Structure 1
Amino acid sequence: MQNILRHTLRRAGYAPAILIGLAVLLQLSCNRQNTDNSGKHTPGDSGQEAQKQEQLEDITFALDWTPNTNHTGLYVAQKLGYFADAGLRIDIKMPQTSVTQLVASGRVSFGIGFQEFGTSSIANESMPIVSVAAVLRHNTSGFTSMKDRNIKRPLDFGGKLYAGWGNPFETKLIRYLIQLDGGDPEQFESVTIGEASLAGLLQDRVDYAWTFYAWQNIGFDLQGLETHYIPLKDLDPVFDYYTPIIIANRSYLEQNRNSAQRFIQAVAKGYEYAAQNAEEAAEILLDFAPELDRELVMRSQEYLAQYYLDEDGKWGRQNPETWNNLAQWMYDNQLIKKPLSAEDAMTNELLLP
């Protein structure tokens, strides 16, 4: 599996970047036969069941790509009936266009986003979106190389070939890290890659790439590859930002406050369950996406379970300082045209205290 998350930058209007790796070329539907929209099996088309379904309120949610362990809490909430209990019927979509644009235009109510691109979309394009929850409490991405390349720190990036997508955020960040570690940022070299296997590229043509540990690096391990991984969050606190997040349309929130709260709180229950029941949650994800590699899903789910909840055992809460710090760094590095404060980009108000 390679490049499962390469779509990430499209949501912000960029060419794909950063999330490079193990592709899952899937075409599947989130609505399975013989299931209702809570994911539970239905005994039949009884009048009572039909009436119950008619009373549910519809909400659309756009994934950033095909189902993976970043999305498990959504599928848990669907399967275990948390949405139905909240009076909601959820339509989970896998669009072929920018999720950010879909949410901003109001074509979907919620979707998967990423802090760096949410910041850019709001500051540069004034998109009417807001982050309403952090899926993970820490950034689980970093830089991966084959062990024989002897890349152990950003200083070692100099003169080595990076596999990326030529995105401004990506390029600025790596140059910054090289300089921060005492190197020459002008020594940064990169090549834009397409659909080729990242595992193959790392072995034969390039020296390092930006990967997400919970999916790509676990996949490398399953392939028996000997790699070295440098966590981004360990290199500078400003880069321990939220990726991914759940974004919402501002107008929708203003007009449907109660529905939005019920939705986010049901999602929170799903991720809290996944954090405490990793194996069972992985099975639920596989129920909805049986095409996924079973061992990869199981190991990935076990790994991410530790990152769903904060120190108080709560899911989704965002620290305004995390948003302010990254926005300031992006402004200082000419990635956004004007400063952006956390209050203009995020809210915790839909979550339970």
Structure 2
Amino acid sequence: MRWQGMWTSWKTKGIAAAAALLLLGGCGGNGGGEGNGSASPAPSSSASSAPLKEVKVVLDWTPNTNHTGLYVAAAQGLWEKRGLKVEIVQPPESGADQMVASGEAEFGVGAQEGLTMARQQGIPLVSLAAIIQHNTSGFASLKEKNIKEPKDFEGHTYGGWGSPAEEAVIGSMMKAQGADVSKVKFVNAGMADFFTAVKKDIDFEWIFYGWTGIEAELRGIPINMVYLSDFNKKLDYYTPLLETNEDMIKEQPDVVRAFVEGASEGYRYAIEHPDEAADILLKAVPDLNADLVKASQKWLADKYQDDAPRWGEQKREVWAGYTEFLKEHGILTKDLDIDAMFTNEFLPK
């Protein structure tokens, strides 16, 4: 699992399709930013004799420990007690963003980079919670390559997926050390995983340490990691996150609140009981590597909330910082309403 969610976030085809669906369906609203008045406070849903409201949450990739809190919420009835019946589904080729934007799925797992580009396209996705508080992704290479910091990328081959953001990120990190990104060879690695790619002609790739890095540990393969957040504060963005669209916030705030509260309780359980949470994920998805899930879950347990006052909380400066980074590198071509891109409104107090 080379790039657990970012690859699908940048698929231009998916974004374009979502835009078309929005035009046909009239998806829109007044924004979902914190304090923008788009949704009035509502109490949590409680269990009653009324039928459960059926909704979907679409993942960004195949199930993994980024998603554990969702599987805990489903297994422990944390959504049902709030009046929801939530189906967890895997994404189509065009990605989770399209399903959420069109309303085919009420909720999804996304990433700040994909959501930001969607907003530039006029697609009103809104982030509801940061699944992991800090960016745990970075550039991985076999230790024998001796790539320890961005300047060491020179003369090496990077295996990516063809997004303009890749060269911008790598280039900005190298420039800060006086290195030249033109001395990096960029190739499309397709869907090959990290371990397959680095056995061929690729020297480094972009991974989440919490999954691929842990897998390297279990395989006994020494790697070096160059974390984005260590070299540029603006790259310490939210990935992954939970998202919805503005129509859901405007028209069904009680459903949004119930979903976020259930997910929050699920992730808090994963933080406090990583071993038991891993068992829940494995029971739901038995084909996963049990040793990897257990080790990854333990590693992620204190990363979900980290230094935030509560799980899921997002800072405006993080959203503004990454947006500025994209503008600086010509990837984002217009000003965006930062406060409409995220909200903390539905998190439990």
Q: Smaller-chain TM-score range?
A: 0.7 to 0.9
Distance 2:103 2:226 in 1: 38
Of 262, 265, 274 in structure 2, the residue corresponding to residue 266 of structure 1 is 262
Q: Does 1:345 align with 2:341?
A: yes
- The amino acid of 2:81's aligned partner reads D
Of 78, 97, 101 in structure 2, the residue corresponding to residue 100 of structure 1 is 97
Of 106, 116, 121 in structure 2, the residue corresponding to residue 109 of structure 1 is 106
Of 6, 9, 15 in structure 1, the residue corresponding to residue 7 of structure 2 is 9
Q: Is residue 54–residue 84 contact of structure 2 (8 Å, CA) maintained in 1?
A: yes
What percent identity do the matched residue pairs reach? 35
Q: Is residue 76–residue 271 contact of structure 1 (8 Å, CA) maintained in 2?
A: yes
- The amino acid of 1:132's aligned partner reads L
Q: Does 1:319 align with 2:315?
A: yes
CA distances 1:305-351 after superposition (whole Å, capped 9, x unpaired): 11111435511110010000100110111111112242021111111
CA distances 1:239-284 after superposition (whole Å, capped 9, x unpaired): 1110001110111111101111011011000001100100000000
CA distances 1:160-212 after superposition (whole Å, capped 9, x unpaired): 11111121011111111111111112212111112334213324422111111
Q: Is residue 324–residue 341 contact of structure 1 (8 Å, CA) maintained in 2?
A: no
The structure-2 alpha-carbon separation of the partners of 1:104 and 1:195, relative to structure 1 and needing over 3 Å to count, comes to closer
Distance 1:312 1:3 in 2: 27
SS at 1:233's partner residue?
Answer: helix
The structure-2 alpha-carbon separation of the partners of 1:230 and 1:12, relative to structure 1 and needing over 3 Å to count, comes to closer
Q: Does 1:175 align with 2:178?
A: no
Of 116, 119, 141 in structure 2, the residue corresponding to residue 119 of structure 1 is 116
The answer for the alignment partner of 1:22 in structure 2 is none
The structure-2 alpha-carbon separation of the partners of 1:195 and 1:263, relative to structure 1 and needing over 3 Å to count, comes to closer
The structure-2 alpha-carbon separation of the partners of 1:158 and 1:65, relative to structure 1 and needing over 3 Å to count, comes to same
The structure-2 alpha-carbon separation of the partners of 1:148 and 1:53, relative to structure 1 and needing over 3 Å to count, comes to farther
Any unmatched runs of 5+ in structure 1? Answer: 17-50
- After superposing the two structures, state which structure 1 stretch, 269-278 or 198-207, moved more: 198-207
Distance 1:4 1:179 in 2: 24
Q: Does 1:62 align with 2:64?
A: no
Distance 1:95 1:165 in 2: 18
Distance 1:188 1:338 in 2: 29
Q: Does 1:208 align with 2:187?
A: no
SS at 1:307's partner residue?
Answer: coil
- The amino acid of 2:170's aligned partner reads I
Distance 2:175 2:49 in 1: 58
Offset of residue 120 of structure 1: 0.9
Structure 2 matches for 1:1-353, cutoff 5 A? Answer: 2-3=1-2, 5=4, 8-14=6-12, 55-96=51-92, 97-123=94-120, 125-311=121-307, 314-353=310-349
CA RMSD in angstroms comes to 1.9
The answer for the alignment partner of 2:39 in structure 1 is none
Q: Is residue 62–residue 90 contact of structure 2 (8 Å, CA) maintained in 1?
A: yes
Offset of residue 158 of structure 1: 1.0
Q: Is residue 2–residue 207 contact of structure 2 (8 Å, CA) maintained in 1?
A: no
The structure-2 alpha-carbon separation of the partners of 1:266 and 1:338, relative to structure 1 and needing over 3 Å to count, comes to same
The structure-2 alpha-carbon separation of the partners of 1:197 and 1:346, relative to structure 1 and needing over 3 Å to count, comes to closer
Paired positions, count: 316
Distance 2:193 2:63 in 1: 20
Distance 1:204 1:327 in 2: 35
- The amino acid of 1:113's aligned partner reads G
Q: Is residue 321–residue 342 contact of structure 1 (8 Å, CA) maintained in 2?
A: no
TM-score by length of 2: 0.86
Q: Is residue 48–residue 83 contact of structure 2 (8 Å, CA) maintained in 1?
A: no
Any unmatched runs of 5+ in structure 2? Answer: 15-46
Offset of residue 15 of structure 1: 7.6
Relative contact order: is structure 1 or structure 2 higher (C-alpha 8 Å, sep ≥ 6)? 2
The structure-2 alpha-carbon separation of the partners of 1:11 and 1:266, relative to structure 1 and needing over 3 Å to count, comes to same
Q: Is residue 132–residue 346 contact of structure 1 (8 Å, CA) maintained in 2?
A: yes
